Structures are given as structure tokens and as C-alpha cells.
Amino acid sequence: MLIPIRSNISKIELNLKDNPVYCKCPRMPYDLDARAGYRKSKHNPDKKEKVFGYQIVISTSIEPETGLEIPVACVTRPGNTHDGNYFIHLKEQLKWQHPYFRTLLDIGDCGFDETENCNYARTEGSIPIFDYNVRSEKLIQEALYQRGYNQDGWPYAPCKTLCRPNGYDKEHKRLSFVCAKQCQKPYFVVPEPIYLNTPLGFATHKPIQENPRLLCEIPRGTKRWKKIRNLRPASERTNSTAKSDLDILAHPWVILGL
């Protein structure tokens, strides 16, 4: 009889043909559906750390008038999946579970900032309030002047004055911007001021479809947009409750193939 110090043999079938021996690979995870993902480090929020397992994405319904924050849809997937890939899935799940439920605003971080998600939200009658993912865009001032608009999608006037939002045209689905004659202010120096014979100076329109990720019916960067965006921490409270208070995320249910 051999007494092994260490063995990877997991099963021996003596009653089957050829007496098969089953071995497990020490580097192969037991759960083949789980994957390695990333999260913010608990010790340093500016860094990311690897986590092996699953992640859960929860949709929280926020009702400002009543102060209610209720989880309404969720999905569990391997840890390496991208949150934004399941936005439409969660919305469809919500429609199936609550057919009379209507969403006015979809709020999310830059992980949901995809053209497909923005277009889907608008098709369903909602306004996407997603943090903009700059990706590889150059945000130095000269680059912004050259492309014609800043990081919030606000265009520049010919005199390089940054225009201001001036309403949303729902019929034509476009934003209106004006320079508001800022060049008349004492601290603003323009060699040759123009558009001073019109009430609001230089004016232009930006259709949403020109850049559906950056442009928003509620102009990005305005006080109203920021106030709505600040409702997002409700989702973090939902996650914290599910993880710490209810302790249901330590071993979440996983249903694949649906």
C-alpha cells in the first residue's frame, strides 16, 4: 500500500472497464464557469485587484418623491464580464417582470456608456444619464478647439468662446447652444467680436444622433444633469445591503444558459 504525501487523484473506478483513474489539475479551478475579474482595491481605491468568481449587477428603482430605493432586476455572471453588456438584458428582465413599469431616467457609470445602450434607452422612452468614457480622446485645450466641442459636448463659437446650453428641441431631437455674447464681458478679449447683432450671439444646434453617447437631452455638465447623476449612489447602497446586511452575495445563485 502506498501512502502518498500529495495526490491529484480524485476518483478511482475499480468496477469499470480498465479501472479508470480520475485526476484533477491543481491549476484548473473547480468552478469552470467562474472567471477572474477586477474591482477597486480595499486598501487603495486608486488601484484594482483581481477577484476570481462571479459578479452580480443589480438595477435599483429610485423614487425621489417617496424616497424609495428598491432593487427591481439583477443578473449574475462570470467575473470577467463587462457591466455594460447586461444593460439591455436587465431592462428586458424588468419589462418581463413588471410590464407596467416605466423608467424615465437610466443612470449608470461609464461602464454602461455604449452607443447600443444609449439608443436602446431612448427607444424605450428613457434618457440615458451615463458617465462619459473618454477612451482614447485627447482632452487638451488645443485638441478640443480643433474638434469643435469640449468634454461635455458643448460647442465653441468661431471666436473660441464656449457656448452654453439653450434648451432641447424635442421634435427634432437636438440641443441648442448659444454664445450669449460672452465676448462683451470685460475679462474676455476678442480681436474681432462677431454675432453681436443677434439677441443671443452665435447659435448652433447639435442633434443627439451626432454623438448619442456624449450628447444628452439633459445637457451634460449642467446643474440639472449633475443633480440627477448624484442619485446613482442608491445603487451602491443596494449592493452594500445585499453584501453586508443580508449576506446574500457571498454565495450567489448562478443560472447560466437562459
User: CATH classification of 35-133+227-245, choosing from 3.30.420, 3.40.50, 3.30.70, 3.10.450?
Assistant: 3.30.420
Mean pLDDT confidence for 42-63: 84
Confidence of residue 250 (pLDDT cuts 50, 70, 90): low
Q: Can you tell me the mean pLDDT for 29-36?
A: 74
pLDDT at 130: 96
Long-range CB pairs of 188-193 (<8 Å, 24+ gap) are 188/161, 190/159, 190/161, 192/159, 193/159
Q: Write down the pLDDT at residue 138.
A: 92
Boundaries of every domain in the chain: 35-133+227-245, 149-212
Please tell me the pTM assigned to this model.
Answer: 0.76
Model pLDDT for residues 62-93, shown as the tens digit of each residue: 888 888 888 888 888 888 888 889 999 999 99
| Pairing relationship of beta strands 21-23 and 9-12 according to DSSP bridges | antiparallel
Residue 3 has pLDDT above 60, yes or no: yes
Looking at residue 258, its pLDDT comes to: 42
pLDDT of residue 253: 58
What percentage of residues in the chain have a pLDDT greater than 90? Answer: 39
Of residues 21 and 230, more confidence is placed in: 230
Whether pLDDT at 49 is above 70: yes
Tens-digit pLDDT profile for residues 139-180: 999 999 999 999 999 999 888 889 999 999 999 999 999 988
pLDDT at 126: 96
Residue-wise pLDDT tens digits, 118-137:
999 999 999 999 999 999 99
In the predicted model, is pLDDT for residue 212 greater than 50? Answer: yes
Query: Residue 200 has what pLDDT?
Result: 83
User: Tens of pLDDT along 91-113?
Assistant: 999 898 888 888 999 999 999 99
Which pLDDT does position 252 carry in this prediction? 57
